[in-house]
Structure 1
Amino acid sequence: MTDSPAGATELAQFASEISFELDPFQRTACASLEAGHSVLVCAPTGAGKTIVGEFAVHMALASGGKCFYTTPIKALSNQKFADLTARYGRAGVGLLTGDQSINPGAPVVVMTTEVLRNMLYASSDSLDGLSYVVMDEVHYLADRFRGAVWEEVILHLPPDVRLVSLSATVSNAEEFGAWMETVRGDTAVVVDETRPVPLWQHVMVGRRMFDLFDTKSSDQKVLVDEDLVRFIRQRESADRMHGYGGPRGRGARGNFRPLPRPEVLARLDEEGLLPAITFIFSRAGCDGALAQCLRARLDLSRPGDAEQIDAIVEKHTGDLPKGDLEVLGYWEWRDALRRGLAAHHAGMLPAFRHTVEELFVKGFVRAVFATETLALGINMPARTVVLERLVKFNGESHAELTPGEYTQLTGRAGRRGIDVEGHAVVLWQPEVDTSAVAGLASTRTYPLRSSFRPGYNMSINLIDRLGAQEARALLERSFAQFQADRSVVGLVRGIERNEGAMRKLESQLGGVDGGFMEYLSLRERIKQREREIQQQGRADRRGAAVKALIELRRGDVVAIPSGRRAGLAVILEPDQTPGDPRPLVLTEDHWAGRVSAADFPTPAEALGHMRLPRRVDHRTARIRRDLASALRGTGISAPGRRRRNDHTRGGEDRQLATLRRSLRSHPAHSRPDREQLSRTGERYSRLARETETMRQKVAATTNSLARTFDRIVGLLEERGFVEHGEVTIDGRRLARIYAESDLVVAECLRQGLWRGLGPAELAGVVSALVYESRQEGGYLTAAGPTEPIRRAIGATLDVWSQLRADESRHKLPPTREPDLGFVTGVYKWARGDALAESLLASGDQGTPLSAGDFVRWCRQVIDLLDQIHNTADDTEIAATAAKAVRAVRRGVVAVDAA
């Protein structure tokens, strides 16, 4: 760094060292930072927000302090580490990502947000001298799985640390900034909605490409291009004339064939719109699209590219074991790259993904088929983004893209400094409504919603650092509670409005002390008692259903009376969880999964019994078919539907009868204007019920996080992790376990349930607490490849089942079920089996895992094993965990581990 001219500001010095002119929003944010404020910067993808983070690095170095630069994912940390190292040199920059530690004592350290959270909880010496923290992609705090980490860091950072928060464009930036002001002090909010590269929206109908918007119209409204509308109408009309008629779109849908992907890319190439990213919302779809282009012999490469492509491929993949290349699909993948084509999704090997990213940025790959994960932070912009569909699976159902998702995906279009403009292309299909597309493209609503909720690890760390009372106060300062409290404002106004209207109605009914108000009260009490009787009947029926489920045993045959799974079923795994038993069953149409009391309007009863094998692997289709066939061969038949018992039958409720007599004998009952006044009274009663509901919502919302924290503390005290407001030795172990099933891990370590396991066996057992099947239902049968694994898994499942019962009693959300779908695969890998065998032994219901998923889950297993090694008091378990880490971290798992 050169010396600053006398009197020059740090911003002027910084600006003189970069090769371009700062944009107004960048200059405003940097000036606020230099003036001593924290800053929140919200701007579109590619606008250059990170320059503000780099200025914070400059400020820290200029003042002799430290700067931590945090990112949500390791790939972004690696990217930023490379950028800052190129600028400040190896000695000045470090990297911490959990499985990588490079120069951690440097004045500038790039890290994942979780690493900083763990430092704060451990009161690490590395925090000494920290003056700035950059939180890149801070909108990740809305992520329901990992978002809490961002708020924990914001709340725990020392007050003298300046915070630079960089976010995508959100519609409630001012709300987020107002919260930051309350917890971090003076914070400048800088919002810029101008894309650095203008974006043009198009719709491709067959081979014809149209502008989406009518740019010729002087109307202020958003209008769809008339030529586009006219062409679609002509196309639909032609389809109907050729005998494909029917309601609008139906005939066209039957006749319509989308343009093949190779032709779409060729058309874009003709228009000069490559490189392009085509978003396809499934991994298989991305791989299929790439295969389609290869079969069509599409080649988008340029003369002389092959040699440079091979060099970059070798750089990323040269360390892969040669024997694994075939099973990884290496040769086909490399052939596609040489033609300028690639797929990009989380199922790919990380080394493959990083190769694609570098080749695309350098212009050697000109067309990529990607899932939406590419839109989340990776620096991989294109000239054009193509959307094949506007519907994606959200984990539960197929749902239309939101405006925020559409904006995030199309935000990749337009490379700053390269393209004059970016292009978003929607491929037309009969179900596509161009007006809806225009609505998506013109809406900029992407509100930031907190996902912050206290968990066991967070709560124990808060108690340890602050004490229970101060911990409650800190939770009340969270963004989640801030948003909840703001929502209360509208409810309070509604209560005040209703109370005013009720006072007017009271006067029409003769006042509070008038006889008719008493009469109305009797009517309301009758309705309330009728509701109570109905609710009691439902509760009794559910109680009977729960009791019946708890009493079922392995091998019992029951009838599921209704719903999609109606028919006979055999109990594979009973469940005695009080209040919420969910036994694992197999139905006669060979579906396996868990059922609950909701599936049995009448209590389940054992209709008979069938013998089951000692071990049942219900993931295997053949085993499910054989068992279903045996079930049908028992000769047991489902009974006809029985009528539910009516709990009020056999005599009217005494309290209800007394109330009805009082009503009939009341003087107001014989008034001539009774019905007219009753209608007024109905309005009064309805307002009273609404008002009470709003009051309950206010009470539930106010201090809601603190109440959840109190319930967690109650459970932890019962289990001995907290005593008299102090964290116990067992609690300190829990405080160092950062996993979704943290309390299950802590209990298993405390009870020594994993002693006696070998390294590969421990890896298999631990995988059940991190792995999550992509398919519904997961895999939850106490099975495994060795007897020690089966014993340890059975004991682990018992711990989880007991915890779930406690959580139900304390009204806490349940800890996720263990999933055994990765046990055999990671066990085989850790004992040294080949990659192909390990992949086949992993996955959901007989479908092998992709290499990328296999590596990702192996690394999560390594992360938890590493925590166990550093946390376990039992030296045997700690040593086994260390050996297991080394056993899993080999081959493809060790390559490109960042």
Structure 2
Amino acid sequence: MTGPADTPRADAAAPQLDAFAAGLAFPLDPFQQQACRALEGGHSVLVCAPTGAGKTVVGEFAVHLALEAGTKCFYTTPIKALSNQKYADLCARHGKDAVGLLTGDQSINPNAPVVVMTTEVLRNMLYASSTTLIGLSHVVMDEVHFLADRFRGAVWEEVILHLPEDVRLVSLSATVSNAEEFGEWMTTVRGDTSVVVDEVRPIPLHQHMMVGPRLYDLFDARAEPADTPATERRRGVVVDPELAAQVRRRASIDGDRWQSRGRGTFRPIPRPDVIARLDAEGLLPAITFVFSRAGCDAAVSQCLRSGLHLTTDEEATEIRQIVTEHTRELPRADLEVLGFASWRTALERGIAAHHAGMLPAFRHTVEELFVRGLVRAVFATETLALGINMPARTVVLERLVKYNGETHAELTPGEYTQLTGRAGRRGIDVEGHAVVLWQPGVEPAAVAGLASTRTFPLRSSFRPSYNMAVNLIDAVGVERSRALLEMSFAQFQADKSVVGATRGIERNEAQLAKMREQLGGADSEIFDYVRLRAELTDAERQHERKKRQDRRQASVESLVALRPGEIVAVPAGRRTGLAVIIDPDHDVTDPRPYVVTADGWSGRLSAGDFPTPAVVLGRLKLPRHADPRTGRGRRDISSALRSKGLVPPRRAKRSRGGGGDTREIDALRRALRTHPARENPDVEALARVGERYNRLLRDIEHQRRKAAATTDSLARTFERIVLLLSERGYLTGGEDPATTEAGGRLARIYTESDLLVAECLRTGVWAGLSPAELAAVVSTVIFESRGDDVPDVRGPTGPIRRALADTVRLCDELRADELRHRLPTTREPDFGFVTAAYTWAGTASLTESLLAAVATGTELSPGDFVRWCRQLIDLLDQIRTTAQDPALAKAAGRAVGAIRRGVVAVDATAA
């Protein structure tokens, strides 16, 4: 199918496509031919197809067209690992002289006619008006559906909006249900764009459930949905009756026992048995998705203990040689902490884990061995599904629930399809297989629903940021920046939603007219009666609101009066009990004193925690050196608080009495009692109609306000950012602000906490630090702890402690400004990597660095350590080229050199 632009006819002359296809070892599928013909015809293209369908062939054809025309093609990917993989593929096809690589920390042959890069690198080029863009004719955006990513998705839209109009864009996406909408937007902002959608998997996928040791087909192709109970039918597909019967039997035995005994007796089939069963059925190689790093490693250990072997002696010898080749540059001293011996043993048996906690060199070894067919069972987290080329014959899902960063949630149909899309190797398998392991609570009909749903809408995550704002204003000015924001896919979708809301308003207004007629018209007695009832309800609500406000004001005044060291009882909220005031807040509108509670929690309370005014129960002399931001400091203060022996008073009951002026309410009640409409025998029924009328009227007004707010929400956010940046000196003031010198530096800082970094550089709080100290402090703005525990970090040196305190102070001031401007707040610095970064940058070993992190409460896997070091290098390199202070820039450069060594340097090409 095609989108907004007409795709050239299949029989139209396409000499370049014929020449390109002649060099392939396989015939092109119809959708590939269709997209390539559109591209040769001068169109941009959007190609949506399932995993493994061969979308990248269209991108490779764009490379062919550029090389034949003597122009340039950029091939962009969302992550460095994919860039490295694609670089190797294109070098093998076109030779190293024709292909370059740019990934932020790598620059190989950047002036080549074909350059592979991460999308962020291209975005930065566009903002800098790089001369490398001269002669560019085609850009391939692989995995363009990443624009829905809430952290990095805006980059894709920035690139699409900023590319020169004459550049042809090849956008490759997983199958999404709103491809036409996305294509319509692309046509709006890029011009002529053809949408090519293919929903047919090149390798058929069979769905199964494993119940105990037996494998059952999920669907029954012989039955008609109408002949099947609804509990065994979902979205027009029918669950296999043998599977349904077996699940009912198992549920009545295992499931009931599992539920009745506290979910402690159900025993899932052991993982080695699952792999052995698949091996017996000829369904290996298989990827088992576990959704937990520890679970992946535990699965490998279980298979090793079971004695499972999936390789021959000859294969084990070949595996050992490949492992040696991939790890020869790793420091021998680090191999023990990396678990090298057991990892290699598992590989030699054909078994492996794959997750982000592994050293990249280990992951890449697993990937190569799996592609070669030497490793036949991989236990992986879902990160493997994000574009890495590792297809299998079978995909196994142990559970249909995973942790999404905030809570445990059921897999969506899109996630299910992305994971199972790995099953079926093109050119090797005639079919792929997806296996779900049964456990109590897993219904075949629900799995059938996941497997058969094909609605995965693409939603924009585009939001203006500080860095984006200064870059846009510097490049095109404020007015053009607003226009670009209005051209974003986010605004396009918002505007379309407003169209739908407007239609809803029109329908509701028609219903209002019918209700008015039913009530006898707008001037009828019953309408006046309903109006009085509504006024009475509003007056009563306002009276109650006033009472609540008075109570809150009393609480606010009591909080404003608090002083350091005073002990109060927190009567409500999550932190009930005793608390000592550390840092009072005298904001008369919303005071939020910083406290430490008797159970060791520290943070800010609000008036919401005090439904009754705060009462001082005593005083505590605060320990002089206790820092409440550290675990040790909180423990010292809370211990001292508990030693006071105070007991919180019983919670006071809120007053439910009257108070305030009720004359208006009394008058409305009298008017209602004597109203002529009360003579109507149907008054109550009509009054209910009138109440529905008023509710509908309020809904219409709400819809109108929401539509108006949606239409210019991005523009308002941008204007608030401009105001804040102008206040802080990154933009000039006035109607047409421009970037200042500080704004120019902010424009070259690409990190989540971009403005905080710019403030630290501008104010000089990172000046005077040694390279290792600078690495430690800078790590706080990129590192994110995996758990809720706050690391007990005081800083290894005095300069680090002072810089950390100043960084936190600047962040608090910035967050206060952001709240005032109603902007999302900058993430607070995270101290969890401080000690590890300082130790490693001070030339210590990997073992010493990881142990240093553990000593301060941070557990780091080797893979995580390398990943955070790579991100730290990226930011330090930005500081090196951005800092106004030459000494600071020099320290940043030396810190980069100190960190880029050992395991970090070995994996620099694949981080």
Question: Are 1:840 and 2:851 counterparts?
Answer: yes
Q: Provide the C-alpha distance between the structure 2 equivalents of 1:266 and 1:555, rounded to a whole number of angstroms.
A: 65
Confirm or deny: 8 A CA contact 1:572 1:584 kept in the other structure.
yes
Q: Provide the C-alpha distance between the structure 2 equivalents of 1:128 and 1:577, rounded to a whole number of angstroms.
A: 55
Q: Provide the C-alpha distance between the structure 2 equivalents of 1:763 and 1:629, rounded to a whole number of angstroms.
A: 34
Confirm or deny: 8 A CA contact 1:760 1:826 kept in the other structure.
yes
Confirm or deny: 8 A CA contact 2:157 2:462 kept in the other structure.
yes
CA change 1:412–1:689 in 2 (3 A) is same
Give runs of aligned pairs for residues 169-180 of structure 1, distance below 5 A. 169-180=175-186
Query: In angstroms, what is the RMSD of aligned CA positions?
Result: 2.6
Which of 866, 870, 892 aligns to 1:855? It is 866
Q: Provide the C-alpha distance between the structure 1 equivalents of 2:57 and 2:684, rounded to a whole number of angstroms.
A: 72
Q: Provide the C-alpha distance between the structure 1 equivalents of 2:399 and 2:287, rounded to a whole number of angstroms.
A: 14
Confirm or deny: 8 A CA contact 1:617 1:783 kept in the other structure.
no
SS of the residue 1:149 aligns to? helix
CA change 1:390–1:612 in 2 (3 A) is farther
Confirm or deny: 8 A CA contact 1:619 1:846 kept in the other structure.
no
Q: Provide the C-alpha distance between the structure 2 equivalents of 1:209 and 1:426, rounded to a whole number of angstroms.
A: 10
Q: In structure 1, what is the equivalent of residue 772 of structure 2?
A: 760
* Residue identity (%): 66
Q: In structure 1, what is the equivalent of residue 40 of structure 2?
A: 34
Superimposed CA distance per residue, residues 845-887 of structure 1 (whole angstroms, 9 cap, x where no aligned partner): 7242111111111111111111111111111211111111112
Which stretch has the larger CA shift, 633-642 or 211-220?
Answer: 211-220
Confirm or deny: 8 A CA contact 1:236 1:249 kept in the other structure.
no
Q: In structure 1, what is the equivalent of residue 229 of structure 2?
A: none
Which of 884, 887, 892 aligns to 2:898? It is 887
SS of the residue 1:160 aligns to? coil
Question: Are 1:104 and 2:110 counterparts?
Answer: yes
Which stretch has the larger CA shift, 668-677 or 265-274?
Answer: 668-677
Question: Are 1:283 and 2:293 counterparts?
Answer: yes
Give runs of aligned pairs for residues 120-159 of structure 1, distance below 5 A. 120-159=126-165
Question: Are 1:774 and 2:786 counterparts?
Answer: yes
Confirm or deny: 8 A CA contact 1:130 1:161 kept in the other structure.
yes
SS of the residue 2:152 aligns to? coil
SS of the residue 1:308 aligns to? helix
Q: Provide the C-alpha distance between the structure 1 equivalents of 2:413 and 2:24, rounded to a whole number of angstroms.
A: 35
Which of 69, 72, 81 aligns to 2:78? It is 72
Q: Provide the C-alpha distance between the structure 1 equivalents of 2:781 and 2:685, rounded to a whole number of angstroms.
A: 64
Which of 74, 87, 90 aligns to 2:96? It is 90
Q: Provide the C-alpha distance between the structure 1 equivalents of 2:480 and 2:800, rounded to a whole number of angstroms.
A: 43
Displacement, 1:597?
4.8
Give runs of aligned pairs for residues 548-567 of structure 1, distance below 5 A. 556-562=566-572, 565-567=575-577
Displacement, 1:307?
3.0
Which of 311, 315, 322 aligns to 1:312? It is 322
Which stretch has the larger CA shift, 130-139 or 629-638?
Answer: 629-638
SS of the residue 2:786 aligns to? coil
CA change 1:259–1:782 in 2 (3 A) is closer
Q: In structure 1, what is the equivalent of residue 488 of structure 2?
A: 478
Superimposed CA distance per residue, residues 457-488 of structure 1 (whole angstroms, 9 cap, x where no aligned partner): 11111111111111111111111111111111
Confirm or deny: 8 A CA contact 2:793 2:856 kept in the other structure.
no
Displacement, 1:599?
4.1
Question: Are 1:161 and 2:167 counterparts?
Answer: yes
What is the aligned residue count?
884
Displacement, 1:62?
1.1
Which stretch has the larger CA shift, 516-525 or 58-67?
Answer: 516-525
Q: Provide the C-alpha distance between the structure 2 equivalents of 1:841 and 1:70, rounded to a whole number of angstroms.
A: 38
Which of 717, 732, 757 aligns to 2:744? It is 732
Question: Are 1:701 and 2:710 counterparts?
Answer: yes
Letter in 2 for 1:468: V
Confirm or deny: 8 A CA contact 1:572 1:616 kept in the other structure.
no
Q: In structure 1, what is the equivalent of residue 731 of structure 2?
A: 722
Displacement, 1:431?
1.7
Displacement, 1:553?
6.0
Displacement, 1:293?
1.2
TM-score w.r.t. length of structure 2: 0.92
SS of the residue 2:505 aligns to? helix
Which stretch has the larger CA shift, 491-500 or 123-132?
Answer: 491-500
Letter in 1 for 2:860: L
CA change 1:787–1:197 in 2 (3 A) is same
Which of 771, 784, 792 aligns to 2:795? It is 784
Which stretch has the larger CA shift, 348-357 or 111-120?
Answer: 348-357
Q: Provide the C-alpha distance between the structure 2 equivalents of 1:863 and 1:257, rounded to a whole number of angstroms.
A: 46
SS of the residue 2:831 aligns to? coil
Q: In structure 2, what is the equivalent of residue 822 of structure 1?
A: 833
Q: Provide the C-alpha distance between the structure 2 equivalents of 1:596 and 1:837, rounded to a whole number of angstroms.
A: 42
Confirm or deny: 8 A CA contact 2:141 2:172 kept in the other structure.
yes
Which stretch has the larger CA shift, 316-325 or 70-79?
Answer: 316-325
Q: In structure 1, what is the equivalent of residue 232 of structure 2?
A: none
Superimposed CA distance per residue, residues 635-689 of structure 1 (whole angstroms, 9 cap, x where no aligned partner): 022221122356x832335655565566667666777765454333212211111
Confirm or deny: 8 A CA contact 1:843 1:849 kept in the other structure.
yes
Displacement, 1:43?
0.5
SS of the residue 1:459 aligns to? helix
Confirm or deny: 8 A CA contact 1:171 1:447 kept in the other structure.
yes
TM-score w.r.t. length of structure 1: 0.93
Give runs of aligned pairs for residues 455-604 of structure 1, distance below 5 A. 455-514=465-524, 517-538=527-548, 556-562=566-572, 565-570=575-580, 586-590=596-600, 596-604=606-614
Letter in 2 for 1:223: V
SS of the residue 2:39 aligns to? helix
Question: Are 1:18 and 2:24 counterparts?
Answer: yes
Give runs of aligned pairs for residues 564-713 of structure 1, distance below 5 A. 565-570=575-580, 586-590=596-600, 596-610=606-620, 611-612=622-623, 614-616=625-627, 628-644=638-654, 649-653=658-662, 656=665, 674-713=683-722
Displacement, 1:260?
0.9
Q: Provide the C-alpha distance between the structure 2 equivalents of 1:845 and 1:594, rounded to a whole number of angstroms.
A: 24
Q: Provide the C-alpha distance between the structure 2 equivalents of 1:794 and 1:19, rounded to a whole number of angstroms.
A: 62
Letter in 2 for 1:813: P
SS of the residue 1:842 aligns to? helix
CA change 1:21–1:673 in 2 (3 A) is closer
Displacement, 1:300?
1.4
Confirm or deny: 8 A CA contact 1:40 1:189 kept in the other structure.
yes
Superimposed CA distance per residue, residues 227-256 of structure 1 (whole angstroms, 9 cap, x where no aligned partner): 11122233344559xxx66xx965795543
Q: Provide the C-alpha distance between the structure 2 equivalents of 1:840 and 1:715, rounded to a whole number of angstroms.
A: 42
CA change 1:315–1:409 in 2 (3 A) is same
Which stretch has the larger CA shift, 230-239 or 759-768?
Answer: 230-239
Letter in 2 for 1:893: V
SS of the residue 2:379 aligns to? strand
Which of 117, 120, 142 aligns to 1:114? It is 120
CA change 1:48–1:318 in 2 (3 A) is same
Which consecutive residues of structure 1, in runs of 5 or more, have no partner in the other structure? Answer: 1-6
Letter in 2 for 1:838: S
Q: Provide the C-alpha distance between the structure 1 equivalents of 2:862 and 2:321, rounded to a whole number of angstroms.
A: 23
Q: Provide the C-alpha distance between the structure 1 equivalents of 2:128 and 2:812, rounded to a whole number of angstroms.
A: 31
SS of the residue 1:643 aligns to? coil
Confirm or deny: 8 A CA contact 2:486 2:714 kept in the other structure.
yes
Q: Provide the C-alpha distance between the structure 2 equivalents of 1:543 and 1:864, rounded to a whole number of angstroms.
A: 46
Superimposed CA distance per residue, residues 373-394 of structure 1 (whole angstroms, 9 cap, x where no aligned partner): 1001111111111111111111
Confirm or deny: 8 A CA contact 1:772 1:778 kept in the other structure.
no
Q: Provide the C-alpha distance between the structure 2 equivalents of 1:54 and 1:580, rounded to a whole number of angstroms.
A: 58
CA change 1:314–1:235 in 2 (3 A) is same
Question: Are 1:393 and 2:409 counterparts?
Answer: no
Displacement, 1:192?
0.6
CA change 1:573–1:75 in 2 (3 A) is farther
Q: Provide the C-alpha distance between the structure 2 equivalents of 1:727 and 1:841, rounded to a whole number of angstroms.
A: 42
Q: Provide the C-alpha distance between the structure 2 equivalents of 1:542 and 1:68, rounded to a whole number of angstroms.
A: 59
